[in-house]
Structure 1
Amino acid sequence: MRDRLKELFGRICDNAKCILVEMDGEADHVHLLVDASPNVQPSRLVNTLKTISSRELRKEFAVELARHYWKPVLWSRAYCVLSAGGAPLDVIRKYIQNQGKDAE
């Protein structure tokens, strides 16, 4: 399911003229590193990512998700967007890649 989610996010980012640089997460959230131009509205991109991925995953993995989600949504409304203008991208990429490693 995580692989399919990454594929969906990559396609959505491509359509929005963005690049999905990195994606990982834990059981209850994901982290994305996205290279976006300044004219991309973060709130609109996040809304598109959540809407399309929720619809597709709930359709493709209905049986698996039914055990955990009973509402017709997958994501909460909350999100966090941070600018990484001065941070080295390798540091951010490693942080994202290491999400959930302690829990495994």
Structure 2
Amino acid sequence: MRKVCEDFHAELKEFNGEADHVHLLVHYPPRIALASLVSSLKGVSSRRLRAEFTGRVNRATTHGRFWSPSYFAGSCGGAPLQVVKDYIAQQKRPD
């Protein structure tokens, strides 16, 4: 995730998640299309996880997709950055 962000001239500030989703806090320049960044994050991570866990990722149950086609993005401009970092840090680590 960090390398993909760097390729987009963005900074991955925090990363954590649950068994079925992840939370990322990313600082990215306004010239970057968020949909392109998310698409790249999903695509690269999907390929790497499938390669690392070959045989453990069941393509039949995921219908050929590792991630859901949807995502949620929110702005944290009004909240102190530490509050958002703490929220993400308190989530469970992805399995």
Could you state the TM-score of these two structures normalised by the residue count of structure 1? Answer: 0.81
Partner of 2:44: 52
Q: Identity of paired residues, percent?
A: 42
Structure with bigger helix share is: 1
Corresponding pairs, count: 93
CA deviation map 1:40-86 (0-9, x unaligned): 11111001100111111111211222398453321001100111112
The code of the aligned residue for 2:30 comes to P
Partner of 2:66: 74
Distance 1:74 1:41 in 2: 22
Q: How large is the Cα RMSD of the aligned pairs?
A: 1.8
- The farther-off stretch of 86-95 and 61-70 is 61-70
- The farther-off stretch of 71-80 and 9-18 is 71-80
Structure 2: give runs of 5+ residues left out of the alignment: none
Distance 1:99 1:76 in 2: 19
Structure 1: give runs of 5+ residues left out of the alignment: 1-8
Larger relative contact order (Cα-Cα within 8 Å, sequence gap ≥ 6) = 2
Could you state the TM-score of these two structures normalised by the residue count of structure 2? Answer: 0.88
Stretches of 4+ aligned residues off by more than 4 angstroms: 67-70
Distance 1:75 1:30 in 2: 10
Distance 2:35 2:59 in 1: 30
